[in-house]
């Protein structure tokens, strides 16, 4: 998706805030609260499709899932927080 609306940027910032305030590290896999699992949950709570909610393509989401999965658990939340903030700014 070429450009994000102000609402989509707000949604990404909400996702970033959710990651920043987590007491536990993001997991690997949707059911283990990986980055995409958390993102999907927030979108579903608003009755929206994840791609439309955040203004992201499926390719972008897949790339973020891969980044989440290959990042060491000790720094996963920080890496994915930074990545989410970059998405909000792009």
12 occurs within a structural domain: yes
Report the pLDDT value the prediction gives residue 2, as an integer from 0 to 100: 62
Report the pLDDT value the prediction gives residue 30, as an integer from 0 to 100: 80
Cβ-contact 36, 65 below 8 angstroms: yes
Which residues, other chains included, contact 79 with Cβ-Cβ below 8 Å and sequence gap of 6+? 67, 68, 71
54 occurs within a structural domain: yes
Q: Please state the pTM of the whole predicted model.
A: 0.91
- Per-residue confidence in pLDDT tens, the chain, 90 aa: 468 999 999 999 999 999 999 999 999 988 889 999 999 999 999 999 999 999 999 999 999 999 999 999 999 999 999 999 999 998
Q: Which structural domain, as residue segments, surrounds residue 16?
A: 6-89
83 occurs within a structural domain: yes
SS3 assignment, position 68: helix
**24 half-sphere exposure, CB direction, 13 A CA radius:** 8
33 occurs within a structural domain: yes
49 occurs within a structural domain: yes
Q: What's the structural domain count of the chain?
A: 1
1 occurs within a structural domain: no
19 occurs within a structural domain: yes
Task: Say how far apart CA 62 and CA 57 lie, in whole Å.
Answer: 9
35 occurs within a structural domain: yes
């Amino acid at each position: 998706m070429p450009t994000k609306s102000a609402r989509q940027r707000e949604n990404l910032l909400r996702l970033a805030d959710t990651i920043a305030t987590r007491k536990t590290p993001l997991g690997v896999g949707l059911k283990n609260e990986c980055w995409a699992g958390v993102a999907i949950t927030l979108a579903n709570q608003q009755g929206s499709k994840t791609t439309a909610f955040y203004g992201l393509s499926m390719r972008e989401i897949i790339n973020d899932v891969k980044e989440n999965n290959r990042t060491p658990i000790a720094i996963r939340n920080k890496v994915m927080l930074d990545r989410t903030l970059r998405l909000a700014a792009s």
